Amino acid sequence: KPQLVASNDRFCRFLEEYCPVVTETYYPTIWCWEGRVQTLLRPFITSRPQVQYRNELIKTADGGQISLDWFDNNDSLYHPDTSTRPTVLLLPGLTGTSKESYILHMIHQSKTLGYRCVVFNNRGIAGEDLLTPRTYCAANTEDLEYVIHHIHSLHPSAPFMAAGVSMGGMLLLNYLGKTGRDTPLMAAAIFSAGWNVFESIASLEKPLNWLLFNYYLTTCLQSSISRHRQMLEKLCDIDLVMKARTIREFDKRFTSVMFGYRTVDDYYEEASPCRKLKSVGIPVLCLNSVDDVFSPAHAIPVETAKQNANIALVLTSCGGHIGFLEGIWPRKCTYMDRVFKQFVQAMFEHGNKIFS
């Protein structure tokens, strides 16, 4: 069974009643139970549900633009009134967009419940142009704050939640730690977040992990930079950035420079959600696997989480990073998908039992 960590008895009882998946035994797919294998195979094994998006480009105060992909769910039987239709904001991972299979599955789960979804694509990675020399990072929450208030202004009467995956989860946690209760969001779900960036980077720099994950992710980051080279070379030495062979080198030469940090360590300190967990002011459910090389078990802030009644951690022994595959042939629903569906439904339909 997963380990459920929560200091708030009311929150615990709420989850046990309305989100029982967090107390059920998770059986990983027997032929790929190891964390790194789960992480590598999930994108290739899981299906990709068809989703028809409506794209919206919104302008930011600094002259940039952000691409939002809306799934309006206008055929919703449970919530036909668009003004009060529950809305879920989805935040993909480091180089992810609305096309990621885990995002498509979350939208598929939301569709069956009658909810609306919006995917927040970080600047410059969903095919849109960069209008200013600025991209994104896990520590800077300005774009996310702008998007949240934009969505809320369009549907002020609609219940509103958010779910973040990997770096998207880190960004969401950093936002919640900064805003406390002063947010339109009623709750949030976090999946496979890296809690302490120093420990995540150290894990990813181990030889096998570097070969399997670190180098590939670095090249993905460089590819997105290369596409906007003409705009970004105003800010830093792109040729030096393209020579990076690790995420740490990339962040040292690009991310920390772009966002004005004195050193890469200063950036990593600010980007680590474990520092802000005590300040989160709304109910948050966080799912991690203890065999996730992106978020080592010893770096998961269990004791800190116990000090905030709004936080519940669900820790599985297997599952890897955004893996959580189950069943003999795990094409469709994963354990992560089931946690997402039950928690979102629980909050939208019974959340008043926590708030009362």
Residues serving a catalytic function are 166, 292, 321
* Three-state DSSP class for residue 138: coil
- Residue 90's DSSP bridge partners are 119, 163
Beta bridge partners of 59: 65
- Cβ distance 138 to 271 under 8 Å? yes
Alpha helices in 155-187 (DSSP H): 167-179
- At 6 the three-state DSSP class reads coil
Q: In sequence order, what are the residues at sequence separation of 6 or more whose Cβ sits closer than 8 angstroms to the Cβ of residue 150?
A: 58, 68
Kindly tell me the burial class for residue 109, based on how many C-beta atoms sit within 10 Å of its own C-beta (0-12, 13-18, 19 or more): buried
Query: Is the separation of the CB atoms in 62 and 258 below 8 Å?
Result: no
For residues 315 and 336, give the distance between their C-alpha atoms in angstroms, rounded to a whole number: 11
Q: Please check whether residue 300 is in contact with residue 328, taking contact to mean a CB–CB distance below 8 angstroms.
A: no
Task: Give me the DSSP letters along 32-94.
Answer: G-SHHHHHHHHHHHS-------EEEEEE-TTS-EEEEEEE--TT-SS---TTT--EEEEE--T
- Name the residue type at position 92: P
